[in-house]
Every structure is written in C-alpha cells, then in structure tokens.
Structure 1
C-alpha cells in the first residue's frame, strides 16, 4: 500500500468523446445484493473503457470492496485487454476521497491514503466494540476502511428492522465521538470540540452509517479523479455523473464549476431531484442498477460500440 505520491498513466493520443464519474452502490452494484447483478453493466463498462472513455468510480466504499465486487468481474470480462490499449484510463476514489488508486490492465493499482482525514484509532476501536456488543444482530463493522468508519446493514436483515436500529446506533456513536472530544455533526445536531470546531460527521445512508471527516464528499472525489485524468492529457469537454443519493450531485457540481459540459444521471429520483444549473437525467421508471444499465447501454449504442 502506497501512502503518498501520484501514479501516472500513459498519455492518450486523442481526446475522448465522454468522461464518466460513477457512484457504485445504486447505479453499478445493487444496493440489495451489494454486487453487480446485471451482466450488461460489466460488458458495457469494458466497451466504454476500451473506447477511451475515462471512467472513475467515486464511492464511499473501500478499495477492497471495489477490487472484489467491481474490478474482478470487469477483468473477467476483458477489462485488462481494454485498458492495455492506448488512450484508456480508469480510476477509483474510495471512502469519498480519502483513498484512491488507478485501475490498470492488471487490476487495482497501489492505493494512496490521506491519513489527515482519518478518525483517531481509539475512537475507531470503541465504535468497533459498540457494534460487536450491541448491534451485531443487524449490522456489521466494515474492516476494510482506512480513514472513515462504516457500519453496514447485514444482508439478512430487512430494511424495516434495520432502520430503527440504525437510529439507535447513530445516537450511540455520536455519543462516543462527543465523549472523546471529537467535534461531530448528525443532521442538525452538533457537538463542537474544545476549539469550537466540528471536523467529523455521521452520514446515514439507506444501508449504512458512515462516520467521516467533513472534508470528504463526492466533489472531493471528482476533483481527485479529474486531476488524475488531466495528468494524461486533454480531458473530454462532455461529462456525465451518475448516482443514487443527493450527495452524488456534488460530482456534477464540481464538473460544472470547472467549466465542463455536464449532466447528472439520478437513478433514485423519488428521493427528490435537486435544482441545478445543468441537466438532470432520469431513466423513466427505472431505478438503481437497472437505470445505471440503461444509461451505460445508451452510450455504448451512441458511440457505436455495439
């Protein structure tokens, strides 16, 4: 594991027609099974990568999860051959910007961890023990994270059972950080540290609670990905970001503020489509990975790859 530095990519000879920033849970992996369940998602990502479309996975997931659940099936479908061609590039930003790595023809490359945004070890240890002692019947502690803490719904537990337990966990974990003197926010609740600062937050999702630095979010991940792609040469002017939560709009926010032609694909629009100065795309009645599959299929067809 590499802790610092930037990994370069081969310089492309032409500007790609499109760039993609993809959330993983929802548009790529099923939020139920936590894996890629639609075969066309795998094959279309390989086709797009092979056509020179720069693709970044911008996710709160760990590098280990993306390696096992995303990169491994992509390699089995021919990603290695696709990325061995000139002018191809794929990148992963994990834990919402705290960890990143290139994706190469051989798989996930050396990871870089931003230790400056990590929770103190004593707090992580107490949160792990809290889950084991009081919440292990409904959730589990994600041991693959490097900088943030994620506690996730067990796949054998229903949403109806998980959600009220998640609320109790959120309150208990908030109290842990407060007791350690760590400034923390949960929704409208704040407990500042001794300096009056609130450097960490609890971010509940439909399947987990993340405890993370306030500096981490999808716009930070988007910035990291663009920096990586830009080191290889001119970037596409046309970009699409894809996600299932309101925070995923931050990827498109960053692209828009940087002057790119961007639209955001919302694969869970019933949670509320945000008002933005760029186009918001939905895939009819389709949601989650079915919407993600439709979106990718559209571009494979549009670019004449199938």
Structure 2
C-alpha cells in the first residue's frame, strides 16, 4: 500500500465503546459501517483490549469482514492488554502471536477454573479462550447487582490461590511478594469481570505495540484519538501524548471519574458505552466527509 496521508489514528477499547457491555456484541450497526469507512480512508485502527483473540475474531472481525473491509487498510488487534497480537485484513485475522513469558502457571489457571465450577458458576464463568491471563466474567443471564455482590468473595478466593502457589500478586492496596520480593502479577476487577494478569500488561503496552505495527506500513498520523470506558484506558492516550502526538481521549463512562490529564478528555454528551462510541465514530465520518 502506498504511503498516503492518514488523517487520523484510532486506538479503541472494545468492551464499552465498540461492543455492548450488556450483550457483549456490536449492537449498533453504524459502528461496523463507520469503522469500514474510516479504514477505507487510511485511518489506522487498533483494537486494544483485555479480551481474547477468539472474542475479537468472532464479535468484531467477523462482522467487519462480512460487511466488506477495504482491500487496503491498516487494522490491528492487541488482546489480553498486550500479551496477544495480530494483523487484521479483509480476509480476517492474521497470524496470532502470544507472549508466553507473561502467562500464569497452568496449575494456577486450573485451580481458578475449578474454583469457579465449585463455588461461583451461578454468577460467573471462566473464560477458556484467554491464552496468557486469567479472566472470570459475569454470566450474561445474571443481573449486575447479583454479580457485584459475589465478585468480592471470588476475588478473595482467587487471591488466596495465587499466593498459595508462591506467586507475587497485588490486589488493590494489598501486595504479597514472591520469594524474591517481586510482585509480577495483579488481580484486576472490572465492572463485568476479574482479571489475573502480569503487571507488565496494560493499555499503554498495547498502544506501543500497535504504533510499532502501523509504522511498518507507512507514516503515522499526527492526530490520534483513544476511546475507552475504564480509567486504565487513559493509558493509551498517555502513551500517545508522551510520544508527541496530538491526542485526545474519549471517555464513554465518565461517571467513574474523569481523570486530570495534559490532553483533552472528551465525553459524548449524555451518551455512554457503545452509544457514545457510535456517536464518536459518526462524528469523524462526517468530519472527514466519508459518506
């Protein structure tokens, strides 16, 4: 593909701004059509997510491919907060690379899986598609209040499993170092899940990997927008700002608290989650006159 001008670059969290946190699918059709229009305008688009590669393949890439991705595009996926990555083309997902160095021991994975089966299967499920981190997620047939009530008990039990295996782990303000005094893992609760993951993984790590990939196919745009629904998603914009780009972050769940940052933080009026994500994409499709 020739090195033509890219008017914008996008780093997108998936749960919230793209996929509905309720249905866990792309519930707003304009999101798919707008992403295709923006990709056709040479906008580099990266999905930076804690989700697994299987989830992104089935719930994001498949709808985009079905709707017709353009032949020349710059699209990338970084899953599990930077532990898994792959290119995206009109044919779908490219080769998936896994960073095994950040994965949890299989014995810990197996014991957490059994914990869910034994004590928490009525409210949550073990995400067997994860390849480097552990994720236990709210069942879609369980109301959120019921899940939230059960989540702290699961977190305590999972924390105990990790420490019993001699791993250094952080959970909130608590730290349990390993025998060397290190704390290489963390337990990270979200609104619909609890993740157990390497402390080296986060959205700035994913952003760096995506920019390195896009740089291989041509020059990078000066203007970037990151979009997300959690406070950790600001790390994508933090990385872009530190690298000298013109960046703003779009917070689609500002009720959790808008962070003070040296770059603009955008909210989409009263819209939240994927409605806000759809409105943001619509704005740029109109601004770039892509209809």
Question: Partner residue of 1:233?
Answer: 218
How far apart, CA to CA, are the structure 2 residues paired with 1:58 and 1:228?
13
Shift of 1:233: 1.6
**Residues 67-90 of structure 1: CA deviation (Å, up to 9, x unaligned):** 0000111111111xx1x13xx210
Shift of 1:12: 3.5
Secondary structure (helix, strand or coil) at the match of 1:276 reads coil
Shift of 1:105: 1.4
1:18 and 2:8 matched: yes
Shift of 1:232: 1.1
Among 78, 84, 108, the residue aligned to 1:93: 78
How far apart, CA to CA, are the structure 2 residues paired with 1:22 and 1:160?
27
1:184 and 2:174 matched: no
- Written as runs of structure 1 = structure 2, the 5 A alignment for 1:57-136 is 57-79=47-69, 82=70, 84-85=71-72, 88-136=73-121
RMSD: 0.6
Secondary structure (helix, strand or coil) at the match of 1:173 reads helix
How far apart, CA to CA, are the structure 1 residues paired with 2:170 and 2:146?
25
How far apart, CA to CA, are the structure 2 residues paired with 1:13 and 1:304?
21
Shift of 1:183: 0.4
Contact 2:37 2:290 in 1 (8 A): yes
Q: TM-score, normalised by structure 1?
A: 0.94
How far apart, CA to CA, are the structure 2 residues paired with 1:255 and 1:70?
24
Secondary structure (helix, strand or coil) at the match of 2:280 reads helix
Unaligned runs of at least 5 residues, structure 2: none
How far apart, CA to CA, are the structure 2 residues paired with 1:203 and 1:176?
15
Question: Partner residue of 2:277?
Answer: 292
Aligned length: 291
Question: Partner residue of 1:5?
Answer: none
1:198 and 2:183 matched: yes
How far apart, CA to CA, are the structure 2 residues paired with 1:44 and 1:18?
14
Question: Partner residue of 2:196?
Answer: 211
Unaligned runs of at least 5 residues, structure 1: 1-10
Among 27, 33, 52, the residue aligned to 1:43: 33
User: Which runs of at least 4 in structure 1 moved beyond 3 Å after TM superposition?
Assistant: none
Shift of 1:32: 0.4
How far apart, CA to CA, are the structure 2 residues paired with 1:187 and 1:18?
36
Q: Which moved more, 1:12-21 or 1:198-207?
A: 12-21
Q: TM-score, normalised by structure 2?
A: 0.99
How far apart, CA to CA, are the structure 1 residues paired with 2:262 and 2:2?
31
Secondary structure (helix, strand or coil) at the match of 1:91 reads strand
Shift of 1:148: 0.1
1:273 and 2:273 matched: no
Q: Which moved more, 1:157-166 or 1:240-249?
A: 157-166
How far apart, CA to CA, are the structure 1 residues paired with 2:212 and 2:45?
13
Shift of 1:56: 0.1
How far apart, CA to CA, are the structure 1 residues paired with 2:201 and 2:212?
16
Shift of 1:122: 0.7
How far apart, CA to CA, are the structure 2 residues paired with 1:15 and 1:125?
48
